[in-house]
A = this chain, B = another copy of it.
Amino acid sequence: MTVSLLVCTTCRAGQPVIDGQPVPGARLFAALERLGAPEGVRILPVECLSACNSGSAIALSGPGRWSYIYGGMSDADAAEILTGAAAYAAADDGIVPWRDRIAIFRKRSIARIPSIG
């Protein structure tokens, strides 16, 4: 089963917008695409996860799984984010055991939502 790594590509992360330069969310998306999605994960751009005060924001989601939203991400976190996404893909219910969860997901969680029927 494929899970989705949603990346808010409009996220300014509290920084001023500079003409001709991509916003932090777009830079994060580009960095993730450069590294490439691990097996079982697809990387999808999203316009605004409404977590503007906690950007850059990403979310992990998949059928029958808890969805997770994380904030405070930047392109420097791209490799670690993909490691965390792979662990999420490997967990049937989306709940990665705490000891196996990457540090930035432990520390920068914004919220989670259960899958409902």
Contact = CB atoms under 8 A, between A and B. Distances in A.
Interface of A: 4, 6, 44, 46, 48-51, 54, 57, 59, 61-62, 67-69, 109-114, 116
A67 B4 contact: no
B49 A116 contact: no
Q: How many copies are assembled?
A: 2
A6 B113 contact: yes
7 contacts: A4-B116, A46-B114, A49-B111, A49-B113, A59-B111, A110-B110, A110-B111
A61 to B, nearest CB: 6
Closest 7 CB pairs of A and B: A51-B111, A50-B112, A69-B111, A4-B116, A59-B113, A50-B109, A67-B113
